[in-house]
Structure 1
């Protein structure tokens, strides 16, 4: 039986890794996958040596606090790879961890492919040298990534964005379906729906959620018919979110569902920077992107992204600030509320933003990314 090593430590990567495992299962393939992943992956037969919900850390302080855990998982992966000799290792996002692991695996002669590659075309471009040295191939999600990797001599294959496989077309611009869906969860037709997505990591929840709730309070004073929908990330339980809501007295709905189905309900979104912004954008929902790190981490981050005009994924892809994005000290409840309020009071502005977001899909290729990745991995496996 072929062995395959996966490292899927981020909430988005977990979904895409899970889809690969599901495809192999449907095909009846005799493949044993192990490494870092989620409980849902484990339910498919994946052997977890690291839990994604414990490893999705961000920021220097949180990484230092989790160092023992991360090093333990890293060392275990290296030892098991040495023992099992997997046919291929599929590493996803999580660049600091994965590039160090790729170096170790490369030294063992184990081929490494990078799926959901780091955004080296946007910041810290020097990492492309490490990818070239230790990875056999990179599967990229955006067409414009191909020339970048080719220019640096990295074997690359454009597979398209797997998010498109998750997207149900009836969730886009279908007024009747939206009305029905909203009524099902208790949203009245006359309500303005603000969605809150504070992030999928523990530190993001701590840094963002209270500011988002305070912004909603400010906005509700101006718009009495505001309804708040709080979207729970796959890495959290509703109970965890409830811990932050004891003093929140506005009418709200706390949801945990498929991300696109939750996003479908809203008129606008206040969202932490990350893959979630792309999900919101694909449903053409106007948004404000925010990200607030601890002070010292923020200073390092600014140094790392020098020369990069935008940090929100939607704006990076579109090459302009199609939606407002704010970072660090500019992330205040007052600023967030004011930016969101413009979507309510300025119909022309809202329409322009929706038009920009509608153009996102042309940058993401066609549906079927998972099947293309599965086919590409056959090069390393027993077919």
Structure 2
């Protein structure tokens, strides 16, 4: 019987996750046929696409509602293909609202479900841990404390794996050495602004970032760089360019992180990147009134919001949320990390621990998945 393996990567980030282990998986199971949901890169790696991930993408509540008929149709088609092909293993990557339902259905059909990137049940919808305990063969986590959290709640096989940013940056980080010292900062401080990749983020955070820069320039010599997302129109950035010494595009983010001494950043994955490169960062978050209402109404979570802080289990980066995002508070946040040599050395130590933790356990995901495939088809 020809080996068949379903892969569901319904978002671009999921495709990137998959590319971190698929080459090893294919090398170990060269005769296995992979099919499911993915993007152009997975197709280029030989995966048969039942649906392109672009078909699954949706932004905002109203767009999700409009796509419900499509999701139901795709769900049923995927299940029927799994049955028709006598598929024994499914790799479901993040995309939790769709994939958790699919995991329940496939497990009832006797399919071994490998669930990659655990849903953040510790933040909200904790009942999902029970769903995973009942339906998945193996759960893969990318945040250190999640392994113990899910194990304590009955999930039998939990593996901690490297965060995808580690795979993205590891070649650079293995040779990168931050040579500038605290004494260099007192002569000239280099700050990179990371105002986000959405219009709302940039329009609400960048004015406060610039006010912070103006205040800093009154008392010390600084150089300022900014990373501009191609997702945001240039017109949003133009009024502030006179205060910026250099501009980096998204694809040049690594160069900006290597150049800077510290950062002001919108909350998001980029704050884990700044931590990995050893940059003290003030993290700012603003959202619309509607999103804030939804968060406080339905999500029972009051822990840290930035990934670096979540990885360490404490607030090593200052976090400023909503009305707290003022130039006064941003300055105080910078001062708490960069105001003295001891505070800088302390934050540097914490960031070195973050860098260790993003690398996960000493564990080869592709090799493990190939062993599950082998045992599943050997049982037939």
Q: Deviations over 1:80-103 (max 9, x none)?
A: 331244332222223223212223
How far apart are residue 197 of structure 1 and its match?
Answer: 5.4
Is 1:211–1:333's contact at 8 Å kept on the other side of the alignment? Answer: no
Q: Secondary structure at the match of 1:244?
A: helix
Q: Deviations over 1:320-375 (max 9, x none)?
A: 21111123343456644653466565554333222211122444455765x33442
Moved over 6 A (4+): none
For 1:196 and 1:90, how far apart are their aligned partners in 2? 34
Q: Give the corresponding residue for 2:354.
A: 360
For 2:153 and 2:32, how far apart are their aligned partners in 1? 33
Q: Give the corresponding residue for 1:91.
A: 92
For 1:191 and 1:38, how far apart are their aligned partners in 2? 41
For 1:31 and 1:191, how far apart are their aligned partners in 2? 54
Question: Residues 211 and 252 from structure 1, CA distance in 2 versus in 1: closer, same or farther, beyond 3 angstroms?
Answer: farther
Q: Give the corresponding residue for 1:175.
A: 179
Q: Give the corresponding residue for 1:247.
A: 239
Is 2:205–2:266's contact at 8 Å kept on the other side of the alignment? Answer: no
Superposed counterparts of 1:309-320, under 5 Å: 309-320=303-314
How far apart are residue 132 of structure 1 and its match?
Answer: 1.7
For 2:327 and 2:52, how far apart are their aligned partners in 1? 36
Q: Give the corresponding residue for 2:211.
A: 218
More displaced stretch, 250-259 vs 211-220: 250-259
For 2:340 and 2:204, how far apart are their aligned partners in 1? 23
Decide which of 270, 283, 289 is 2:283's aligned counterpart: 289
For 2:3 and 2:253, how far apart are their aligned partners in 1? 33
Matched, 1:17 2:18: yes
Q: Give the corresponding residue for 2:119.
A: 118
Matched, 1:68 2:61: no
- TM-score w.r.t. the length of structure 1 is 0.78
- Report the number of matched residues: 356
Superposed counterparts of 1:329-340, under 5 Å: 329-332=323-326, 335-336=329-330, 339-340=333-334
Q: Secondary structure at the match of 2:278?
A: coil
Is 1:197–1:269's contact at 8 Å kept on the other side of the alignment? Answer: no
How far apart are residue 34 of structure 1 and its match?
Answer: 3.4
Q: Give the corresponding residue for 1:280.
A: 274
How far apart are residue 18 of structure 1 and its match?
Answer: 1.4
Q: Give the corresponding residue for 2:107.
A: 106
Q: Deviations over 1:95-123 (max 9, x none)?
A: 22321222333344333221110122344
For 2:263 and 2:63, how far apart are their aligned partners in 1? 31
Question: Residues 66 and 341 from structure 1, CA distance in 2 versus in 1: closer, same or farther, beyond 3 angstroms?
Answer: farther
Superposed counterparts of 1:139-150, under 5 Å: 139-150=140-151
For 2:175 and 2:135, how far apart are their aligned partners in 1? 41
Question: Residues 218 and 89 from structure 1, CA distance in 2 versus in 1: closer, same or farther, beyond 3 angstroms?
Answer: same
More displaced stretch, 251-260 vs 322-331: 251-260
Matched, 1:372 2:374: no
For 1:227 and 1:251, how far apart are their aligned partners in 2? 5
Question: Residues 351 and 208 from structure 1, CA distance in 2 versus in 1: closer, same or farther, beyond 3 angstroms?
Answer: farther
For 2:74 and 2:287, how far apart are their aligned partners in 1? 30
Q: Give the corresponding residue for 1:51.
A: 53
Q: Secondary structure at the match of 1:302?
A: helix
- TM-score w.r.t. the length of structure 2 is 0.78
Is 2:225–2:245's contact at 8 Å kept on the other side of the alignment? Answer: yes
Is 2:192–2:262's contact at 8 Å kept on the other side of the alignment? Answer: yes
Q: Secondary structure at the match of 1:175?
A: coil
Superposed counterparts of 1:344-355, under 5 Å: 345-355=339-349
**RMSD over equivalenced CA pairs, Å:** 3.4
Question: Residues 344 and 307 from structure 1, CA distance in 2 versus in 1: closer, same or farther, beyond 3 angstroms?
Answer: closer
Question: Residues 273 and 31 from structure 1, CA distance in 2 versus in 1: closer, same or farther, beyond 3 angstroms?
Answer: farther
Q: Highest CA radius of gyration, 1 or 2?
A: 2
What stretches of structure 1 of length at least 5 have no aligned partner?
177-188, 200-204, 233-237
For 1:252 and 1:69, how far apart are their aligned partners in 2? 42
